[in-house]
Every structure is written in structure tokens, then in C-alpha cells.
Structure 1
């Protein structure tokens, strides 16, 4: 279901989170009050909650900031803006990663950026669904082409994680870190995740679609299906508003140069910084690879980006992939 033009206009009017009367909305949109009411009823399907109070009118449960291309591009420096070949914003899409993967097969160039107000088939690692109501979070994917094969960019998600933390710190969010291999965490809870999908020749040209989902505002009722502790920027920023367009722009501004330069620099350029942001080091945890479970104390990552774990027998293991789980309850 695509959002109707009149629904988008109503959302734009209600975006400030204040009350607006039915008469005011009807006049602004040139329609009857009953037509306004019908359009409002359709917002539930988008995960948008609103209140209707007699004598006051209608108000969204929380203010939203709809995405706008000019507002996003304004946050990019001129050199980074030159790396953007195209910027698309979708009201609703299956998945920004899936969309760009389709375009990549049609020879779309590097720097194609896709954002969405809502995904209906958003993807996380291992096939998990990414939960996000309309107009509330960051759903971002960027296509980039590389001359070397997939093995040369195997640690790309770690470098992109560094770029995400840089962007958050530029916006004053200092209490976020990285959980190997591709999660953004804050105080033991998941704030976002990175999903990179690579296709191409084993030893030749390939492309990568880098997807980022970042929680800006995630209502409790929408997060019921999430199977792990989670948080959002609304909570960790102490109620200080984080502009959604500026956040999207800062993220793109930091991620693009990582993608453009990774074949030249590799992980080495980001290794020390990643270790600084590592929120797992020193934790007793389990690593799951299929049905196998390995327990021990995590000791960061090596120069290849492999996770290091020291077990109870003082053996040091290195993991190229796997699912990490803390062995103690989150605080």
C-alpha cells in the first residue's frame, strides 16, 4: 500500500505534533472534514498513531520530520556531495537494499543513495526483519562499485561502523559504540545495524550495497516483535531532538568517503578507531556459528577484522563470522 498524496499532505500539516482541527485540515486540503477523517484512518496501516480530541482536533502521537532531498544534501560537504550520483527518497519500499541491488544489476553507478520513510520488507542480518514505522527512523542504502573482488572488501562493514559513530558524535551523541560485526549499540542495547550485500566476480569487479537502519524514534507498540534489547536516539539523546534530515546527511557525508577509499586504505585506516568504539571488549560472551557455541572473554578484533576470544583454557580463537551474545543480562 502506497501512501496517498492527500495522506502525505495531512502528515506534513500534522508533523509538528500540535493539534489541528478538522476544519483547518479540510480547508488546507480543499476537501470535506469526512474525507480528512477517512484519510486519517488509513494512517494506522503505516504505523502512525494519532489522537483525536473533541474541541481540539487531531495530533500525531509524536512529531515527525519527513525526509527532504535538499535538507539532506545541505549536510554534505562539497567533495562528498560530488560522490552522490543520485539521491532517491521513497515513501514506501520493500527494502532499500533490495531496490539498489536491482538497480546495480542494471548498471546503476556508484554513489546511488536510497532512503525510505517506511520499509515493508526491511532486512537485518540472517534474514531478520527490520522494524520501523513510517517517517520515524533512518532507512538508508548506498551503492558502490569496486574493481577488486568481494574478498578485498570483506571488512567493509567495520569501517562503515566507524563512519556511523563519527556522524553520531558530530551531532553530539557520544554514548554509542560498535558491537562486532555490524551493530550500533548504546548502553547494552541495539541502536542500529549495518547490512552489506556484495555481488560480482570473485577476483574481479563487484558491487556492494551498504544498508543502514538506525532507530531515531521507535514506539514500544511497534517494537513488540524485536527479540533483543533495543534503544533509539530519542532515548539516549536525553530528549534533545535530533533532526532526521540532518542525521541522514551526516551519515551519508561520513559513509561515502569510506566507500570511495576502502580499496586503497582497507581496514587499517579504521582499525584503531574501531577498537576505541568497541563496546564488547572485556565482556564474557558466547559466539554462535550454526549449532556450535564458543564461550570466553572478548579481546577486540585483529588486523583482518576477525573477532578475538580467549576461552577458559586461555586459548585465543579468531572468528571471521558468527553471532555474538552476552552471557549476562543487559543492565
Structure 2
């Protein structure tokens, strides 16, 4: 279902979380009050519930902050703002990564940025769907072109994880960490995920579409289909409001800082910081590669970004890929 212009106008009016009468909304939209009611009911399917109280009118169940390109750019430093070739905000899209990958094949330049209020086919790791109601979270992708082939950027997702934690710490969020290879976690629960899709010549130019999904607000009813423990920034921050446009701007600023320099520095520039943010070092865990399972204690990552695990026989294994499942029950 696509959001209509009338629904977008209604959302803009109700975004403050206050009551607005049906007559006020009808006048602004130039429609009947019954048409307003129908448009509001249509928003329920987008994950935007509302309340109606006789004598008061309508209000959203919670305030929302819609994405605004100008407000986002205000939170980038001048150097990184100049690196953005385009910034698009979609009300609804299948996937920001899929969209930018399509543009990349049409020779779109580095610095193409795409955000969405809602995705219908958001992609997580191993084909999982990324769940997010309209206007609630961060759904972001950036296209960047590199000169030396996919092998030269094989550890990019680890550096991108560092960039995400840097952005969160700038906003006073210090309870987030990294789970190898590309997840953002807090106290044993998933907060966000990174998905990087690379295409191009083995030894020549290539491009990477870096996608980030980060939970700012995820209601329990929307998260019912998620098959792992999850959290959002609202819970981590203890209800302290976090501006969605500010968050998007800080994230883009830090992501661009990594993307513009990674081909020169590689993982080495981020290795110590990644290890500082590693939330599973020392934990008992299992690594799954296809049908194979390896058990042991995690010992961080090596200089190439491979995950290190010591098994019961004191053998140290290094994994270039795999799915990690940890055992400790976090509070």
C-alpha cells in the first residue's frame, strides 16, 4: 500500500502527538470529515495507529518525526556534506539497498544516499526481512565507488559498525556494541544491522551499497515476527527523546567519514576501536557455517577481521564468515 498525499499531510499535522479536530483536518485537506476518517484508518496498515476521542478529535498514538532532507544535512560537517551527490527520502520503497544497487548499475555516483520512512522488502542478514513501521526507525543506504576491487574492502562492514557506534555515542547512547560481523547490539539484544552489497570487477573498480537498519522505536505488536531478542533506542535511552533527523544526520556523517577513507586505511585504522566495542569477546558461543557447528569461547577478531574462537581442546579457529549464536542470558 502506497501512502497518499492526503495521508502524508495528515501525518504532518498529527506528528506533534496532540489532538486535532476532524473539522480542522478536513479544512486543511479540502475533503469531508468522513474522508479524513477513511484516510486515518488507512494509516493503521502502515503501522501508524491513532486515537479518536469525541470532542477532541484525532491524534497519533505517539508523536513521530518525519524525515527532512534539510534537517538531516544540518547535522553533517561541511566536508562530508560536500560528498553527498544526492539525498532521496522515500515514503515507501521495497528496499533502500535494492534501489541504490539499481542506480549504481546506471552509473550513479558515489555519495548517493537513500532513506525511507517504510520498506516493504527490507533485507537483513541471510535473507531475513527487516521489520519497521512507517516513520519510526532509520532505514538508510549509501552508494560508494572504490577503485581496487571487492577484496580491498572485504572488512568494510566492520569499519561501518565502528561508524555507527561513533554516531550513537555522539548522541549520548553508550550502551550499544558490535556483534561480529555486522550487527549492532545492546545488552544481548539486536538494535540494528548492516548489510553491504558489493559488485564490480575483481581487480578493478567496484561499488558498495552500505545499508543500515537501526531501531529507534519498535512497538511490541510490530515486532512479533522477529525471531531473536531485540531492542530500540527508545528503550536504551530510558525514554529520552532522540531526534530522528539528527540521528540520521549523525549516522550519515560518520558513515561517509569511513567510506571516503577506507580504501587508503583499510581495517587497521578501526581495529582497536572495533575490539573496544566488541560485546561478545570472552563469551561462550556457537558459530554456524551451513550445517556445521563450532563451539567455544570467542576471542575477538584478528587483523583481517576474522572471528577468533578457542574450542574445548584449546585450538584457536578463525572464521571469515558464519552465524554467531551466544549462550549467556543477558539481564
Provide the TM-score with structure 1 as the length reference.
0.99
After superposition, what is the alpha-carbon deviation per residue over 1:56-75, rounded to whole angstroms, capped at 9, x for unaligned? 21111111000000000000
Residue 290 of structure 1: how far off its partner (Å): 0.3
Please name the residue that 1:118 is paired with.
118
After superposition, what is the alpha-carbon deviation per residue over 1:238-282, rounded to whole angstroms, capped at 9, x for unaligned? 111000000000000000021111110000000000000000001
Please name the residue that 1:308 is paired with.
308
Q: Which runs of 5+ in 1 are unaligned?
A: none
Please name the residue that 1:263 is paired with.
263
How many residues align? The count is 331
Please name the residue that 1:79 is paired with.
79
Cα separation, 1, equivalents of 2:24 and 2:172: 37
Residue 29 of structure 1: how far off its partner (Å): 1.9
State yes or no: 1:143 paired with 2:143: yes
Please name the residue that 1:213 is paired with.
213
Please name the residue that 2:233 is paired with.
233
RMSD of aligned Cα (Å): 0.7
Cα separation, 2, equivalents of 1:123 and 1:7: 26
* Aligned pairs for 1:142-181 within 5 A: 142-181=142-181
SS of equivalent residue, structure 2 residue 299: strand
Cα separation, 2, equivalents of 1:47 and 1:65: 14
SS of equivalent residue, structure 1 residue 224: helix
Cα separation, 2, equivalents of 1:37 and 1:313: 66
Residue 328 of structure 1: how far off its partner (Å): 3.2
After superposition, what is the alpha-carbon deviation per residue over 1:171-213, rounded to whole angstroms, capped at 9, x for unaligned? 1101100000000001110000000000011111100000000
Residue 327 of structure 1: how far off its partner (Å): 2.0
SS of equivalent residue, structure 1 residue 148: coil
SS of equivalent residue, structure 1 residue 115: strand
SS of equivalent residue, structure 1 residue 288: strand
Q: Which runs of 5+ in 2 are unaligned?
A: none
SS of equivalent residue, structure 2 residue 257: helix
SS of equivalent residue, structure 1 residue 46: coil
Cα separation, 2, equivalents of 1:324 and 1:46: 32
Runs (4+) of structure 1 moved beyond 6 Å? none
Residue 48 of structure 1: how far off its partner (Å): 1.0
Please name the residue that 1:131 is paired with.
131
